Chains A and B, each alone.
Chain A
Amino acid sequence: METSALALLKKPWVLITLLVLLFLPFSTSNIHFHHVLIMFMLFATLSQAWNVIGGFAGQVSFGHATFFGIGAYAALVLLKRFDLSPWVGMLIGGGVAVIVAVLIGYPVFRLKGHYFAISTFAVAEIAERLFANWDFVEGAIGLPAPVLPEGLVNFMWYKTKMPYFYIAFILFVAVLLLAYKINRSRLGFYLRAIKQSHEAAEGLGIDTSKYKVIAMMISAFLTAICGSFYAQYILFIDPPSVLSLDISIKIVLITVLGGAGTVIGPILGAAILIPLSEYSRILLGGTGKGVDLIVFGALILIISVYQPQGVVGFFRKIGK
């Protein structure tokens, strides 16, 4: 089996799709459209990261906002308090997320199924509350980015979204290739074995705890990187916007909607859900009555009831 990740890029339809995506922002100067593209790539990447532990290994986490928040706070807090470049903050955030993943992972991975899922809930709720009451990171007030000259060093631009688009694109492609690689590697097979039968995997001599923790570390690191990107893109963070259950759930929804456990699933899910939620917010959110969320909830409900196999299942059906 071809194991080089770059093999994916040799497939014509993948290459064409990526090139189209790369040149899409030039088709218009509409700022909303650029924003939707960036959010699409950000959430596709987040879901791809979640998919490593939640999809491949079948360990459903409702706590990924914790890693996202750690990344976001690492970038802005270090920039504000110690004048560290957000790029360094991004790496530190990733490192901290990995440590947290290990610390949580070992005790929590002994738990099966729902017990695991509820524990990730609990961890995320604790993290949000701690950040909301931590004065060093401005608690519930939130943390605005300091106003610095724009450019790559400070990771901020004010007039255009294009640099953010390119960074998100690089992140998106890199994580896509990584997920493709993991899916076809020994690790990927181990994780799928764990998903299908924990006991059988152990019986075959797979150290299930070890591989689950490895998957969680990869997932946490990538999620934190996305968090740093988000903080530098929005330039303001507070606990509800980066640590809340809503973020965790959104990541899970996208992956499940697209098809959990597949590499294409998170991308399909994000391609449907993100434009839906962003445009309904842009078009209907102004009423202040939550019409956008009514539409959003109804559509999730309809898709899940009429397309229970995920969007991937729908395409497979057509393919046959």
Chain B
Amino acid sequence: MDLDILLQILVSGLLMGLIFALIAVGLTLIWGVMDILNFAHGEFLMLAMFFSFWMFSLWAIDPLWSLPVTVALLFAIGVGTYYFIIKKVLNAPGLTALLATFGLSILIKNLAQFFWTPDFRQVQGAILGDKTLSIFNLNVSLPELIAACGSALITYVVYYLIFRTKTGRAIRAAALDRDTALLMGINIDRIYALTFGLGGACVGVAGALLMNFYYVFPSVGGLFTILAFVTVALGGFGNITGAFYAGILIGVVETAGGVFISPVFKYTIVFAMYLVIISIRPKGLFGW
């Protein structure tokens, strides 16, 4: 019996953790390549969820089928954000980029609230719906399972893109040394735009998959932004593999904390864990 509960916690935590991981991968990519804290990351996620929601409620397109459209939209938003905002503050001193992304996050959140009201909304009657799988004594909700598998798959795709393709090598070069990369003939501008687009696409996937079982409202992004920041720092900045494992760890700790201590304190426990780990490993679990 006790073993069953433990296993259930592990599995539920793992599923949520894989989604956290994908969101964090999008953030760590931008951070690692451009050294920019994107405060609007959670708001991008919120937009993805709303797109998914509206395509379902207006045109009855299931979140699963509209996923490619959501991802394309978010990629475009990412690229647009780079060209219209980030590019202009890239060479500014210190914290200006932070100011810009924070302004953007306030703007997006409140525009969403203006047009779509602060109501909580949920997709009802999607293909994945409220189905639950029971394997042995484990209960796994189907939408969460699909979301987790999809997130893991996309995380691997991003990893492959960065570490196994020529474009990926260019992105890594730009992250290492922007000026040298420029001298090698890499179009830094395009690489940065692509990176921001990819960051957007990651939350696009995560948002569309989350919409199958999570609710959306204009300020849903806040918690996800903070969790993503902590995940990224825990894994080591710019470290995709690190963000992946840190995401899983946070998912499991969150779930376990919710069960064993109190649901009220589940994020408190996550943040406390972060502080403990970071004081032992000052550059994250996988930092060097």
A interface residue numbers (CB < 8 A to B): 58, 60, 107-108, 110-112, 114-115, 117-119, 121-123, 125-126, 129-130, 133, 245, 249, 252-253, 256-257, 260, 289-291, 293-294, 296-306, 308-310
Contacts and interface: CB of A to CB of B under 8 A. Distances in A.
Given A107-B279, A125-B268, A301 B274 contact: no
Q: Which of B94, B109, B284 has the most CB of A within 10 A?
A: B94
Contact of B110 (A257, A290, A301, A304): A290
Contacts of A117: 37
B267 A304 contact: no
Contacts of B85: 301, 305
A112 B282 contact: yes
Given A260-B95, A304-B103, A294 B111 contact: yes
Contact of A125 (B98, B108, B267): B267
Contact of A300 (B94, B103, B226, B278): B103
A115 B282 contact: yes
B245 to A, nearest CB: 17
B241 interface: no
Majority secondary structure of chain B interface residues (helix, strand, loop or mixed): helix
Contacts of B3: none
Given A110-B279, A115-B284, A119-B233, 20 more contacts: A111-B278, A114-B233, A114-B237, A118-B233, A121-B226, A121-B229, A123-B275, A129-B264, A129-B267, A256-B96, A293-B109, A294-B110, A294-B111, A297-B103, A297-B104, A297-B106, A297-B107, A297-B108, A309-B92, A309-B93
A247 to B, nearest CB: 14
B100 A133 contact: no
A252 B85 CA distance: 20
Contacts of A110: 279, 282
16 contacts: A108-B279, A110-B282, A112-B282, A115-B233, A115-B283, A118-B229, A118-B232, A119-B233, A126-B271, A133-B264, A289-B113, A290-B113, A297-B104, A297-B107, A298-B103, A301-B100
B89 interface: yes
B286 interface: no
B114 A290 contact: yes
B5 interface: no
A302 B106 CA distance: 13
B288 to A, nearest CB: 13
Chain B interface extent, by class:
35 or more
A287 to B, nearest CB: 9
A107 B274 CA distance: 13
A133 B265 CA distance: 9
B88 interface: yes
Q: Which of A253, A291, A301, A302 has the most CB of B within 10 A?
A: A301
Nearest to A294: B110
